[in-house]
Each structure stands twice: as C-alpha cells, then as structure tokens.
Amino acid sequence: MLDSAFVKEYLDTHLEQRQANKVQHGFPSPRYWNERSVPMDELTEDRRQLQKEGQQAGVYLYIGVPYCIKTTPGKCGYCLFPVEEFQGNEALEDYYGYVEREADLYRDRLQGSVLTTAYFGGGTSNLYRPHMYHKIMDLVRGIFPDIEEAADITLEGIPQLFTRDKMRAIRDSGMNRISMGVQQVNERLNRLSGRRQTTKHVVQSLEWAREFGLAANVDVIYGWPQQTVETMLEDLETLVSWDVYDITHYELNVGGPTDFALNRFHELPSTLSNLEMYREGRDFLLDRGYEQHGAYSFRKPGDPTTRPFREGYRPETTRDTSDAVGWGYAAVSFFGDASFGAGRSWSFINQRSLPLYKRAIDEGRFPIERGFRHQSEDWLLSTVFRKLLSMEIDRAGIRRAMGVDVYEEFATVWDALAERRLADIEPDWIRLVGDGPFYTPLVSALLAEERYRALREREARAQQAGLTLIGDGGAQHG
C-alpha cells in the first residue's frame, strides 16, 4: 500500500496539472503489452469450462475501421489513434473482407456466447455505403445467433458522412444507436481541426436518426484551442435545444506529434480553466434535467429510443463472464475472468500496421500484435478503472467476486480523496463526488502507482536482457 505522505504529496503536485486520459484500455497501459504470443487455445478452453459450469459467456464486440477522411491538419489535429487515410470504397470493402475472415477464426471459439453489446468504431465507421451495414450485421448474427434483447448496437460516425439512405440502412440492419463525434458545434472552433462539418450536418443527422427510431449520442470536447467557458456553454445550449438526450462531454487529451500539441498548445485553456469548464458544463446539464451517469456521460430521461448502455464486461456481482472481443485493424480485446486464477486473463491488440494485419489473415493467423497476461492485481485494477468511469465502485460486489476489499487495498488513496471531498466511502460503495469525476485519470494513475513501479522494474530487467518493448499506446477517441 502506498505511504499516506506520498499520496498526499502526489495529489498536491498533480491536482493542478493537465489531466491525461489514459483509461480507455483499462489497466495497464498498452506500453506494457509486450508478449508476442497470446494462448488463444487456453483462453478458449477457459470459456468453454465456464459454459460447462452453467455460466453465461457474454461478449462485448468491437469492430474497427482503419480509415478517416483527410483533414488539414492531419488526424483532426489531435487524434492519437492509429488510422489510415481513406482511399475510397474499394479499399474499404477489401478491408472488410479481411474482417470477415478474422471473425471466422473466432467462430468455433465463441460458440454458445451471447452478444451483450456491439460497437462499430474506428476510424470512421459511417464511411461504408448503405448496403455494407446489412453485411456487418449478417456477419455478427452469423457468429452470435444469440443476441441479448437489450443489446446496445452502436455505429460511430461523423455528421457530414451520414445520409438518409445510410441511416435507414443502419436501422434496417438491426443496429439501434448512432454515436456522433461532433467535438465542436461552434463552426469556427471546429475548423481548427480541419473537419468540414457544419451545424446543418449535425441537425440533419439527428433528424434522420429520430425519423428511423435510432438512439443518438453526441460527443463534444471541452479544453479545445481558443475555447472559453462561454463558447462551451453555447454548444451545450444548442444540443439541449435540439433535444439531444445523450451527451458525452469530455476533456481534450493533447499529446504526441499532433497539430494541437505542436502548434496550438499555447491556445489551449489552462488546467484550472478546464476544471471550470467541467464544473460549468456539469451544472448546466444537471440544471436542465440531465443525469450524470459517468465521468463524461450525461443523459436526460424520457428518450423513447434510449437503451441502457453497458460496457459489456462481467458484472462484479455475478460469476458470469463477458469478454471484450475486438476485430479489425488495431482492435483491442480483453479475455478472461478473475475466477480463472492468476495469469489466465489477457489484454491484446491487433496489428497497427494494415499490411501486417492483412498478412496475418492471409496466413490464417490471429492478427495479434502484442498482449499482456494479467495477474490478480492487474485484473483488480482493470475492474476498478472501468468502474471509475461510472463514478462508483461496487465495493461489496468486488468483495464477493474477488475476495478483495477494494477500500482496504488502496486505503491511503481513498482516504486522501475523501479528505479533499473528491470521494465518499461507504461500507458497500466508493463514489467519486464533487470534482472527483474530472480527476478520474489522476485517481486511476494513483491507484496504479505501486503496480506500475513493479512493471517498470520488470521492463528494465527485460531491456537489460536485450528484449524489444512496445511503445506507449495511449490514445484519445476520435
């Protein structure tokens, strides 16, 4: 356990530093996913054993697209995801053929699994022509004949690429939600990213979604270059006036060789300004009837098309298992269960080189680039990271499922957060309160500090042994 003096000093020195959202892949950071051989047979056998014991084997499915339309500056000025420049529909449909072949490699291994959630992302998944959405869902149903009735099946896209025909095809295919990366409603600020969307594109896409009975989530970013609290609130006011029921409002993550990091860093709001934006945005939405369901997620009750979004991972209160399965270029997967024991659960990422991804499929191999074998402490941290995004940790549920009290494991951290009124500690729950959700990345980093020390030591020993290690894979959603 971390020394309480260290924890307090860490918080004192980091609370005013820019938050870096590194939580997308759970724990640990992909920079530590160094194992080149992932035992798929072992993982398959573990799933089958659970099914023999009468436990439901659920799957959260992700299918990625590598392509984005060209922008100037490149990659929308800020995106850290691996993407390829769109080369036209022929290249996109050729790529999709490889996804179908990858899915076939999983067919027997996922037999009997229930699809609980599906997300089609990227890249830019609404680059596909209308007929392709039917193909995608035919593929999904072919691998998963059993789809949960309440399954959330979401397609991500950008406003200017939606058309009425596409929206109808999305609905008719069996998808039930779109997630729109608007980022900035303000057209002047939006142009800094090189995106060509207009307000009309956003409004029209929302109208089509309503026409066809699709739930619609809108993503917007605060902490954008040249953005002020006033321009941020104007964007939120506009979304509220358009009756957008689901809004994801998250802080810009700036890093890497992006235009915003290299050329517009001086135009970014300060960390304290970003905290003010979080507070003002949260309070604005709460005052207008929205409920905060996560660190970045706000939902207004009453949407006739809404569906309960779930991450798709195994609930801590049950022994059912639900793996996250990623197909496509750079897709991420999580396989395993705490009940399997140490070393029997994995995170892994597919090839981030499109030629290498295709080569693996051509050779009949899983296109896995690197992986990480979880120990028990890694599984616990990964679970806690995910639950932090929902702002509350089911202390009692984790205790039942894993035999661990998450408060006792990290007592000095929780106590220091509670002293700063960032967390409430109860016998069965720990909740982020006040500014706590804004500091989710910081809380995650502090909880993982001790384990990361051990992983850095392991990495140093590996370097001394002459092994090549993977680079940092932190990413921001596009």
- 436-454 pLDDT, tens per residue? 999 999 999 999 999 999 9
- 240-271 pLDDT, tens per residue? 999 999 999 999 998 889 999 999 999 999 99
- Helices and strands in the chain, H and E counts: 16, 17
- 334-372 pLDDT, tens per residue? 987 655 666 678 999 999 999 999 999 999 999 999 999
pLDDT (average), residues 459-463: 84
pLDDT of residue 255: 87
Cα atoms in the 13 Å half-sphere on the side-chain side of 198? 3
How far apart (Å, rounded) are the C-alpha atoms in residues 445 and 21?
10
- 69-112 pLDDT, tens per residue? 999 999 999 999 999 999 999 999 999 999 999 999 999 999 98
* DSSP letter for each residue of 308-366: -----SPPTTSS-EEEEEEESTT-EEEE--GGG-TT-EEEEEE-SSHHHHHHHHHTT--
At residue 49, does pLDDT exceed 90?
Answer: no
How far apart (Å, rounded) are the C-alpha atoms in residues 105 and 98?
11
How far apart (Å, rounded) are the C-alpha atoms in residues 77 and 261?
8
At residue 471, does pLDDT exceed 80?
Answer: no
At residue 468, does pLDDT exceed 80?
Answer: no
Q: What is the band of 314 on the pLDDT scale with cuts at 50, 70, 90?
A: very low
pLDDT of residue 415: 98
In total, the chain counts a number of residues equal to: 478
Q: At 222, phi and psi to the nearest 5?
A: -110, 160
- 274-307 pLDDT, tens per residue? 999 999 999 999 999 999 999 999 999 999 887 6
Q: What is the band of 308 on the pLDDT scale with cuts at 50, 70, 90?
A: low
Sign of CA dihedral 193, 281, 382, 454: positive
At residue 462, does pLDDT exceed 50?
Answer: yes
pLDDT of residue 279: 98
3-class secondary structure for 252-288? CCCCCCCHHHHHCHHHCCCHHHHHHHHHHHHHHHHHC
pLDDT (average), residues 388-406: 92
pLDDT of residue 465: 81
How far apart (Å, rounded) are the C-alpha atoms in residues 160 and 223?
23
CATH of domain 1-23+389-465: 1.10.10
Residues 6+ apart with CB under 8 A from 257: none
Q: 150-154 long-range CB contacts below 8 Å, 24 or more apart?
A: 150/307, 150/308, 151/115, 151/116, 151/117, 151/118, 152/117, 152/118, 152/176, 152/177, 152/307, 152/308, 152/309, 152/310, 153/117, 153/118, 153/177, 154/118, 154/119, 154/120, 154/178, 154/179, 154/217
* DSSP letter for each residue of 201-253: HHHHHHHHHHHTT-EEEEEEEES-TT--HHHHHHHHHHHHHTT--EEEEEEPP
- 182-201 pLDDT, tens per residue? 999 999 999 999 999 999 99
Contact 95, 360 (CB under 8 A): no
Q: At 173, phi and psi to the nearest 5?
A: -70, -25
pLDDT (average), residues 317-332: 77
Q: What is the band of 464 on the pLDDT scale with cuts at 50, 70, 90?
A: confident
- 151-165 pLDDT, tens per residue? 999 999 999 999 999
Asked if CATH classification 3.30.750.200 holds for the domain at 181-300, the reply, yes or no, is: yes
pLDDT (average), residues 168-174: 98
Query: What is the rounded (10 degree) CA torsion for 336, 337, 342, 345?
Result: 10
pTM score: 0.92
Partnered with residue 63 across adjacent β-strands are: 120, 327
Q: At 14, phi and psi to the nearest 5?
A: -110, -15
How far apart (Å, rounded) are the C-alpha atoms in residues 268 and 246?
26
pLDDT of residue 476: 38
Residue 339 to residues 49, 86, 114, 320, 336, Cα–Cα distance (Å)? 11, 43, 19, 10, 9
Q: Hey, where are the domains in the chain?
A: 1-23+389-465, 34-176+307-374, 181-300
At residue 311, does pLDDT exceed 70?
Answer: no
How far apart (Å, rounded) are the C-alpha atoms in residues 443 and 437?
9
**% of the chain beyond a pLDDT of 70:** 91
For the chain, what is the radius of gyration of the CA atoms? 22
pLDDT (average), residues 389-418: 94
**Smallest Cα–Cα separation from 127: which of 174, 163, 77?**
163
pLDDT, the chain, mean = 90
